[in-house]
Amino acid sequence: MKRITFAAMVVATALMSACNNPDTGVKEDTPQEATVDTAVMYEDEKGRVDADGMEVKKVDDSFWNDVNFEAPVVDAPALKTVNVEKRATNDYTIYTMEEKVMFDTDKAAIRQDAEPKLQEIAKEIKNIPGNGAIRIYGFTDARASKDYNKELGQERAKAVQDWLQNNGGIDASRLSVQSMGEEAPAASNETAAGRQMNRRVAIVVATNTK
């Protein structure tokens, strides 16, 4: 009788243990095993990126200093319809927009009618393989002081960065900004037409990520 009672207790204990620790065939998640969803729970940005197979390809600062904004123009019909210029080399792709279609005079808030341009750019960026880093440059003309122009260029580049992150679906870890101010003009600042060309925003995507 005692043997039967003891055996029954063993079985009951095993059943309770199974209920408390069900064997679902799935191992308990750890940060190292996190999926793109569970990594958010761990607040593990690297885990989220690695789990998604989309590790951002970083580049040295020297890379951004060597960008040639006069790189060869690339024919891109979808971008032409929204007046975005595309240029490219083997190392990067550049998307350029004039200031007058992006911002009101001396303002850094993106105009509503500029959003279709950014939407097309975001769509193109997502189709570029390699998940390369992205830098947004803000340019101005030379009419105001250098300090003012530097600040305005920074604010405009930051506005584009925020839009790409919040509305374009581009991961924040890929994005950075740089204000050029009145440096690296595309044309002479002595004429109205030249100054207009100098007021622009350029989005540069690193494409040589090997």
pLDDT at 12: 54
pLDDT at 134: 97
Sequential DSSP letters for 61-90: HHHHHT--TTPPB---HHHHTTT-EEEE-S
The CATH number that domain 56-206 falls under is 3.30.1330.60
pLDDT at 96: 95
Ranges of residues in the chain whose predicted pLDDT is under 70: 1-54, 209-210
pLDDT at 42: 39
Q: What is the pTM of this model?
A: 0.72
pLDDT at 89: 96
Query: Mind listing the pLDDT tens digit for each residue in 164-203?
Result: 999 999 999 999 999 988 887 888 888 888 888 888 999 9
pLDDT at 110: 92
- Who's near 39: CB < 8 A, 6+ residues apart? 31, 45, 47, 48, 51
pLDDT at 177: 96
pLDDT at 163: 96
Domain ranges for the chain: 2-49, 56-206
The Cα–Cα gap between 208 and 153 comes to: 27
Number of alpha carbons in the 13 Å side-chain half-sphere of residue 102? 28
pLDDT at 210: 62
